[in-house]
Chains A and B, each alone.
Chain A
């Protein structure tokens, strides 16, 4: 609406350079005002919380709620970056990786192992080893992977240059090496496995991540990884990055840097997806063979995307760990949990949407934090509306209808006759579906009411959170495959399309009427 009005006004500007400028400006504002608003809100978030809760935000020493919510928000933002990187693969490119956690955990492990055990000679040997492995892969795989050899070689050389020949390694150098390693790993495994069927890729990534998880947990490398206890890095962290609430460090600054990091990642992904490469990725997701038939070397684009996603995951993982209260890199950061988490958030928010994963991650993470210590019984009312047991009954009824909708449709067609999709048929079907739902809900409500009388047990939100997420996951996969944002977008797109069609029909009719 606003858009059309503004552009109509701009068209009336007589001077063409001025018009071009105005157009670009208008587009910039129209496309970004919402994100700018969100950015400002995130920036001011510690102050808002402080105002609401009466706690303090001193530049260096926040207290109470403000401090607590700062780290929660910061962690949520890094997890949102992880989800966005997963969405880049899964949503925008149709690549299913079950080993994304490998990149998430690797950032912390590599950085802090390097810092803790830096020995110039040994690192060089390790890098030479990596180089040999990459070379071997490139030579023995049946691919013409010259580009791979070149890139891997230059990556390793760059890493070598980053390493000081003697003395200690700084945090930034170590982080850069970690990033390079992640690039090399994603590049190599991408080239090797992305050319075969997607299912091999899913299996391969799962196995790879699992092995590193086992390695990280095993006692064999305890002196490096800390085994199951994790890698404690408090002493390794440069003071500027120390965000413990008690430290007179630059906690609030660090929070703001995290917001900036998030904004950069968001913008980078947005730009990537609207770049020529991103357009090709959409084409590949839709129909890979067709993309090849119009001249795209699809493997190149897929590997590029995987490398990009891996790099983002590595960086957000490192930042996530910096915000950890106990200053420990846990082996769990390499585990399935950190693949399932972004996958879930991507699905719930909306596969292949820009904002979906962010909304879902922030909502679920902050929601859990907020409700973690709450308890409830089956009779507790939510927002003063329905009681918990009533919500559960309705959700079960909805889920049943959704999950069995195919069988239900078949049954319904047997009842009302499988007609063509006439309005009458649709109406009957709707009434039938509604009837089934209402009946089911009524029965469940009755049963629930009975049960509720007996069970006055007190539940912890924290205990049941995973279960809630699991149920949400199944429901989304089965009945809401486009997630929250995706469904919303679709509704709007359908409306716009309808309007377009109506317009075209009217024009055609008008043209037909004027002809004779």
Chain B
């Protein structure tokens, strides 16, 4: 960490300052407007949302960084993960813990499989035609959404009980909260650290990072880049599915959740800078916080929850204007 800050480029150093200042502003506004307790709750909700967004966005960012493919089907991965997990949860016998575990495993594996097939069969032949790749992932997203609706129906699915281990409450900022929420935050942090370590401390991570810089060179070193591509794609898909299943006890499963999180993830990527892992992590939390504060603000003053949705987009537009490559993007 020490050396990390020493080696920052001026642009990134400025971005860090911006980020800190922005979060401070959000914090001040909430403290001044909502009072300490509500402000604390809002921040907690923001971080929680940020972690969920991170699960989708990190996959998107990883895949884009390495493969130069922006996977518009990432939202559909989350959706499929959630619905398949939900289905398995209801079908499996046993305690809530077992069922939840089964849901996680089956959902993630199923989506990872879809990701693998999609990368090998459909994405790979199209590397020479990037526009078609873009269009393909977009179209597949729509097709997946359609298939899920056909198979599971359009009605929203009610939230399910979280595992018994996490089904008790704790008190924070004067509000009783389920441990499950804390679990999601911890899960997000674990994934952040996990992916960070994978990228920085393992051989495969070094290959991935080198591949992001210069795929041809990696290929020239005699490493099978294709396999690494597939791996990253599968990893991204799996993370999104995990996010979808993690959402079930929290808000159930709805057809709209895929696109909702895809948009948020896109905002995150634009803000954080495409292909930058730290940028994605930081921007996820910023977007989560912004969203939560905007929600709280509009609830308190305008009675118009939709304004929260626009707030995030405005943030994205602002960043696009001042820093077209995102806060932590590679300058071109």
Where the two chains meet, the residues of A that have a C-beta atom closer than 8 Å to any C-beta of B are 90, 94, 96, 98, 137, 140-142, 192-193, 195-196, 198-200, 202-204, 206-208, 210-211, 214-215, 218, 220-221, 336-337, 340, 343-344, 347, 403-406, 463, 466-467, 470, 473-474, 477-478, 481
Q: A210-B263, A214-B306, A478-B125 known; A203 and B70 CB under 8 Å?
A: yes
Do A207 and B313 touch (CB < 8 A)?
Answer: yes
Where the two chains meet, the residues of B that have a C-beta atom closer than 8 Å to any C-beta of A are 64, 70, 72, 121-122, 124-126, 129, 131-132, 134-136, 138-140, 142-143, 146-147, 150, 259, 263, 266-267, 269-270, 274, 303-307, 309-310, 313, 316-317, 320-322, 324
With both chains docked as a complex, state the minimum distance between the C-beta of A105 and any C-beta of chain B, in angstroms: 16
- What residues of A have a CB within 8 angstroms of the CB of B259 in the complex? 210, 336
- What residues of A have a CB within 8 angstroms of the CB of B150 in the complex? 463, 466-467
In whole angstroms, what is the CA distance A6 to B173 when docked? Answer: 87
Chain B: which residue is nearest A477 at the CB level? B136
Could you list 13 examples of A-B contacts with CB < 8 Å?
A98-B138, A137-B321, A140-B322, A196-B320, A196-B324, A200-B320, A203-B270, A206-B72, A220-B305, A474-B122, A474-B136, A477-B126, A478-B125
Interface of B is mostly: helix
Do B140 and A474 touch (CB < 8 A)?
Answer: yes
Do B316 and A207 touch (CB < 8 A)?
Answer: yes
Chain A: which residue is nearest B132 at the CB level? A477
Do B305 and A218 touch (CB < 8 A)?
Answer: yes
In whole angstroms, what is the CA distance A200 to B124 when docked? Answer: 22
- What residues of A have a CB within 8 angstroms of the CB of B138 in the complex? 98, 202, 340, 343
Chain B: which residue is nearest A399 at the CB level? B121
Do A211 and B270 touch (CB < 8 A)?
Answer: no
In whole angstroms, what is the CA distance A300 to B297 when docked? Answer: 40
**Partner pick for A204 among B139, B142, B146, B320, CB 8 A cutoff:** B320
In whole angstroms, what is the CA distance A141 to B316 when docked? Answer: 13
Interface of A is mostly: helix
In whole angstroms, what is the CA distance A221 to B134 when docked? Answer: 34
Do A470 and B129 touch (CB < 8 A)?
Answer: no
Q: A192-B320, A336-B259, A343-B139 known; A403 and B121 CB under 8 Å?
A: yes
Chain B: which residue is nearest A143 at the CB level? B321
In whole angstroms, what is the CA distance A331 to B70 when docked? Answer: 27
Do A208 and B313 touch (CB < 8 A)?
Answer: yes
Do A96 and B267 touch (CB < 8 A)?
Answer: no
Do B134 and A207 touch (CB < 8 A)?
Answer: no
With both chains docked as a complex, state the minimum distance between the C-beta of B320 and any C-beta of chain A, in angstroms: 7
Do A207 and B321 touch (CB < 8 A)?
Answer: no
Do A473 and B267 touch (CB < 8 A)?
Answer: no
In whole angstroms, what is the CA distance A433 to B270 when docked? Answer: 44
With both chains docked as a complex, state the minimum distance between the C-beta of B152 and any C-beta of chain A, in angstroms: 15
- What residues of B have a CB within 8 angstroms of the CB of A336 in the complex? 142, 259
In whole angstroms, what is the CA distance A306 to B64 when docked? Answer: 26
Do B313 and A477 touch (CB < 8 A)?
Answer: no
With both chains docked as a complex, state the minimum distance between the C-beta of A490 and any C-beta of chain B, in angstroms: 15
With both chains docked as a complex, state the minimum distance between the C-beta of A310 and any C-beta of chain B, in angstroms: 18
In whole angstroms, what is the CA distance A195 to B143 when docked? Answer: 31
In whole angstroms, what is the CA distance A478 to B150 when docked? Answer: 24
Chain A: which residue is nearest B124 at the CB level? A406
